[in-house]
Amino acid sequence: METTLRGVGVSHGVAIGEVRHMGTAVLEPPAKQIPAEEAEREQGRARQAVEAVAADLIARGNLAGGEAQHVLEAQAMMAQDPELMADVERRIAVGSTAERGVYDAFAAYRALLANAGEYLAGRVADLDDVRNRIVARLLGVPMPGVPDSDEPYVLIARDLAPADTALLDPALVLGFVTEEGGPTSHSAILARALGVPAVVALPGAGELAEGTVIAVDGSTGEIFVEPSAEKRAEMESAAAARKAALSASSGPGATSDGHQVPLLANVGGPGDVPAAVEAGAEGVGLFRTEFLFLDDSKQAPSEEKQVAAYRAVLEAFPEGRVVVRVLDAGADKPLDFLTPADEPNPALGVRGLRSLLDHPDVLRTQLTALSKAAQGLPVHLEVMAPMVADRADAKAFADACREAGLQAKFGAMVEIPSAALRARSILREVEFLSLGTNDLAQYTFAADRQVGAVSRLQDPWQPALLDLVALSAEAARAEGKSCGVCGEAASDPLLACVLTGLGVTSLSMGAASIPYVRATLAKYTLAQCERAASAARAADSAEEARVAAQVVLSGE
């Protein structure tokens, strides 16, 4: 009998297939004591296992490229954390086996993360995955991961670690469903990059029996268990119609009455550029530069290395717009040379622009490298600062850009509610705004983007978040300046129409989402988008806002 479940749809598309479950986690190793003379050998085993797992994560990242590569490199750094390794060796020295020493040391570190505020608590799944991989190697058992199957399937998991998500084969994994996670979790972001339909935050997903046929709608978040022939036909027909609409859509982003809405790509490095170009991106709306700094947490990359990486991206978009975000370190991206190690809540501490203003040499080198990378190119370079809180922050960043001789537009990201509330003041110092809706939602609702239990508050359809977007867009219009969105909200085709109606002037997203957004925008006039935006803001919940916008746009 067909039943319907609902989670959070985070990656467009329809998948119909049999359920396969993620491999079980590694069992807890026995707590047996070893003789003192074996301690050195066990410490060596532990070090070898850690290095092997770190190397495997980096290799997986190199294969995957793009956003996945940065996430996996951060996981490899987690595995090689010197303090964590020192704790492992201390435990072995007093009698633990290598595998038990690793298990207990990671448990202690896990407890620290879980109690360090919600932002870092959301990284526990990544830490557990690293632990499981190291312990599995020491025990000589298979690594946890995706199941072996010759036939396509829908993957079910409590949560998907980045190392697993990054190398999913879309030819075999039709889609995936997780119990945990949220719309801006690592799994969701990587699913969109892969173009795999995905639903997260579905309670009880693990109870779906192996081999059960389910239909997954990655747009609505609906899961149909044992769907009827009629339901399957209906979903397959809708998917085919959507695919045809995507194929017919091309050119610049615009509403049906010709209102231009440039569709830009979010990129995490040169590896993401080919997909962005293929999708018809009109430029880059968010060039994340952290990938250069994660290679070595002890020191910043040289100016020469930065110039080469930046130029590779800038050259791909001649005459296009490329918006670069300067280093956003801190919180879940700590760097030894830049960020404090003892903050009680790093998400609310010295991160983003705050870190750079405390280390002006790092900011100056990056701005100089960007200036040199753009020399002689016809690209329209724009540079923005993360985590701008007020006009003083915006002025400090603009002054730093001028002092570095940067010939580009300077902008500010709106990720903190204060920046949206005082957007007009900030725009007296900079030339554009870019809304990072992921962090803006996190700080508006005090809801960590990695924690499934609060995923409803991370929903970008929340009317309070739409109000902050509207405030920012209205301020930009009043100042005669631009206001784009580069957060994950822009990748939702229906929400893209609402954002356009709120006055947003450009939309930036993962390359895989661009065709969906382009095709949807082209169906509606600007006036329809504006009416949908008003209806969504008048609602009292995210779901009501989504339905209200849909009703307006469908003409019901």
Q: Which amino acid is at 356?
A: L
H helices present in 383-540, as ranges: 391-403, 417-421, 423-426, 437-445, 463-479, 493-502, 514-521, 526-537
* C-alpha 111, offset from chain centre: 24
Which residues have a Cβ under 8 Å from the Cβ of 50 and sit 6 or more positions away?
79, 80, 85, 88, 102, 134
User: Burial of 304 by CB count in 10 Å (0-12 exposed, 13-18 middle, 19+ buried)?
Assistant: exposed
Q: Can you state the angle between helices 493-502 and 463-479, rounded to 10 degrees?
A: 40
d(CA 327, CA 128): 27
Compute φ and ψ for 536, nearest 5 degrees. -65, -40
CA-closest candidate to residue 452, choices 16, 100, 125, 34: 125
d(CA 263, CA 255): 12
Name the one residue in this structure whose structure tokens are 């979010």.
266
Count other C-beta atoms under 10 Å from residue 413's C-beta.
26
Q: Can you state the angle between helices 39-64 and 124-139, rounded to 10 degrees?
A: 120
Residues in the chain: 556
In sequence order, the β-bridge partners of residue 410 are: 383
d(CA 443, CA 448): 8
Active site (annotated) includes residue 70: no
Active site (annotated) includes residue 21: no
CA-closest candidate to residue 334, choices 145, 500, 116, 168: 116
Count other C-beta atoms under 10 Å from residue 181's C-beta.
30
- Please report the sign of the dihedral spanned by the C-alpha atoms of residue 225, residue 228, residue 230, residue 232: positive
d(CA 552, CA 528): 7
CA-closest candidate to residue 261, choices 8, 493, 5, 488: 493
Query: What are the structure tokens assigned to 209, written together?
Result: 């029996």
- Please report the sign of the dihedral spanned by the C-alpha atoms of residue 510, residue 516, residue 518, residue 520: negative
d(CA 463, CA 479): 24
CA-closest candidate to residue 554, choices 526, 527, 523: 523
* C-alpha 431, offset from chain centre: 26
DSSP strand E in 236-280: where? 263-267
User: Burial of 402 by CB count in 10 Å (0-12 exposed, 13-18 middle, 19+ buried)?
Assistant: exposed
Q: Which strand (E) or helix (H) includes residue 8?
A: strand 8-11
The four Cα atoms 250, 256, 262, 266 give a dihedral, to 10 degrees, of: -70
Active-site residue identified among 186, 359, 483, 497: 186
Active-site residue identified among 401, 486, 497, 529: 486
Q: Which residues are catalytic?
A: 186, 486
